[in-house]
Structure 1
Amino acid sequence: MQQINWYPGHMKKTKELIQQNLKLVDVVIELLDARVPISTRNPQIDKIIVGKPRVIVLNKSDLANSRVTHEWIKYFKESGINAIPVNSLTGAGLDKLMTEVHNAAKDKMDERIKKGMRVRPVRAMIVGVPNVGKSSIINRLTGKKSAKTGDRPGVTRGKQWVRLKGNIELLDTPGILWPKFEDQNVGLKLAFTGSIKDEILDIETIALRLIEYLCEKYPEYMKERYKLKDIEEDGLMNMENIAKNRGCIISGGRIDYTRVAKVVIDEFRSGKIGKITLETPDDLSTMEE
């Protein structure tokens, strides 16, 4: 299995950009993928934004297991941070997000009024790893296509202030990953969800690992989606059975591993296999042991 280690120069610049502009904002919006809240939390962010009010967005909540999403909301609340489930494609949850941003900035705004300073928009910064939906959320909030979007990580570049509804100004930042993955499982989950460019990965191995995980944790979903009679102990056999059932066969009756890999990964990312969350709050205690 290849080591996943991806830290382009623009991500280093993004870290510096966040540090330089933190003093300009009242609230930090931390954007996570609801399916992998642990793996999409950049451990550097906690150190960089320490002391700033924060709101967490659990985006792509429509693709996640709703029961586990509620467990995450409870976990973050106990940590003193409000987390809002959002679907950036439909806009569900964004009104609540705006309310929480104002709530998080209330003390700062009240302080300005007491000092006789003019009332100004709440200033927020949005941060997160690539491909968790920042641009889609900004476009929803502004009601226009103000930020470049794409279905591949790394399309957002540079710094831009965007005026949002509800008297909020938002400083957008490009996606930021940490320099290396101490835990290769984190790298795998980011690969599963598309936060690492597919072009730099061994897509067949990534799909095999995903199939192994889903067959263990969500066997009924896999049986139903791919018409599997049984879940085999050998992950490769499951992959080959999926290929046969989906017609991913090349000349001579051989398995087209690349094609079946793309099928499973695409169907996982689009939610066609089912509403799946790969991490729960209980996993945190396991990781700390």
Structure 2
Amino acid sequence: MSVQWYPGHMNKARREIEEVMTQVDIVIEVLDARIPDSSQNPMLNTLRGVVPVLRLLNKKDLADRDRLALWLDHWRGSETVMAHPFSTQDKADVGKISQWVSQMVPHRGTAEKPIRAMIAGIPNVGKSSLMNALLGRRVAKVGDEPAVTKAQQKLKVTNGFQLLDTPGILWPKIENPDASYRLAVTGAVRATAINYEDVAVVGLKFFITDYAAALQARYKLKELSTDPVEVLKVIGSKRGALRAGGKIDMHKAAEVFLNDVRTGAIGPYVMETPEMIAHEEQLVEEAKAKKEAERQARLAAAIPQRQQDKNRKYRDEQAKQAHAQSNDENK
């Protein structure tokens, strides 16, 4: 089972992006450094075609540097992809964007031929904060809820550099259930579209396996259970997520944990590696192939039955006609 969230305005945004992509020289895709692959939009990759992309791995201060380096190595050498750790709060990072963009689009950058860059990304990765930082003024609404931006804006950074903002978009169906939960854990999916306890359990399972020491330090746990539900109960008891009678409020406990994950209170982390994603993609393809094979089998099995029904209907019609003809002859 996976988390799905695809509001109507996102479908409209997809059409708008498709329409203006022919006018774009480069895509600046803002990613969440904690989920470098899951925060990519495969639909955007399809729409941009051969247009180069600058991937800004935002929230670098919340990310595990060693794991982030694996992704930089993974993309290094591509002619159409450039990736850099990034923070909208780091003025040095913001100042380097014009340089990075010019490297990828060397044939433009003058007042007569400005570089036309599209800022894109899924909800809640920092697109609006990036625009405000680049322009040095508040022109885009910023919020901690996904899907704050819902309309395109065209803005001038310099005489040789223009920005085209787009609404944050997810894609109609998130095929990888693991990726969908990583999106939910890090806050890319609106709160009303998730089950807090389910998402927290998935997040805890990851931290128990990959960042156990950080989890123990945050919640002062002498021992760490391998059962994420039990760990969530302990977090609830330690943080006062209690109902009458001392019963753990699991929803409240989940809120506490997910807030700590999203704000970096537990420590820096990255939830995926290139090797992990390659394995998950293989499993997704195998599941799709199996589902298609089952569909074809059902279709094949249904054909004889449909033919039988057709033959039976034909015989019934023939019998009716014969009966009607016999009645006419007897009159």
Q: TM-score scaled to structure 2, two decimals?
A: 0.81
Q: Residue 167 of structure 1: CA displacement?
A: 3.3
1:95 aligned partner: 95
Please list the CA deviations of residues 177-206 of structure 1 after superposition, one character each: whole Å capped at 9, or x if unmatched: 111111111110110111110112111111
Residue of structure 1 in register with 2:83 after alignment? 83
Q: Is the 8 A contact 2:2 2:178 kept in 1?
A: no
- Cα 1:166/1:260, change in 2 over 3 Å: farther
Q: 1:155 is matched with which residue: 148, 159, 181?
A: 148
8 Å contact 1:91–1:137 — kept in the other structure?
no
**How far apart in 2 are the matches of 1:287 and 1:217?**
17
Q: Which amino acid aligns with 1:210?
A: G
Indicate conservation of the 8 Å contact 2:58/2:87, yes or no. Answer: yes
The residue that corresponds to 2:32 in the other structure is 33
Deviation at 1:120, TM superposition (A): 3.0
The answer (yes or no) to whether the contact 1:243–1:255 under 8 Å persists in 2 is: yes
Q: What is the root-mean-square deviation in Å for CA atoms of aligned residues?
A: 1.7
2:137 match: 144
Instruction: Give the structure 1 partner of residue 214 of structure 2.
Output: 221
Q: In structure 1, how many angstroms separate the alpha carbons of the residues matched to 2:260 and 2:147?
A: 22
Over 3 Å counting, the alpha-carbon distance change for 1:3 and 1:287 in structure 2 is closer
Paired position in structure 1 for 2:48:
49
1:10 is aligned to 2:25: no
Kindly indicate whether residue 192 of structure 2 is the aligned counterpart of residue 192 of structure 1: no
Gaps of 5+ in 2: 283-331
Larger relative contact order (Cα-Cα within 8 Å, sequence gap ≥ 6): 1
What amino acid sits opposite 1:82 in the alignment?
A: M
Deviates more, 1:136-145 or 1:93-102: 93-102
User: Is 1:176 paired with 2:176?
Assistant: no
* Residue number among 225, 235, 242 corresponding to 2:235 in the alignment: 242
Contact 2:35 2:272 in 1 (8 A): yes
Aligned residues: 281
Q: 1:201-229 deviations in whole A, cap 9, x for unaligned?
A: 11111112111111111000010000111
CA contact (8 A) 1:86 1:92 kept: no
Superposed displacement of residue 163, structure 1: 1.4
Q: How far does residue 156 in structure 1 lie from its aligned partner after superposition?
A: 0.2
* CA–CA separation in structure 2 for the residues paired with 1:102 and 1:119: 15
What's the TM-score, normalizing by structure 1? 0.92
Partner of 1:125: 118
Structure 1 residue runs of 5 or longer lacking an equivalent are none
**Structure with higher helix content:** 2
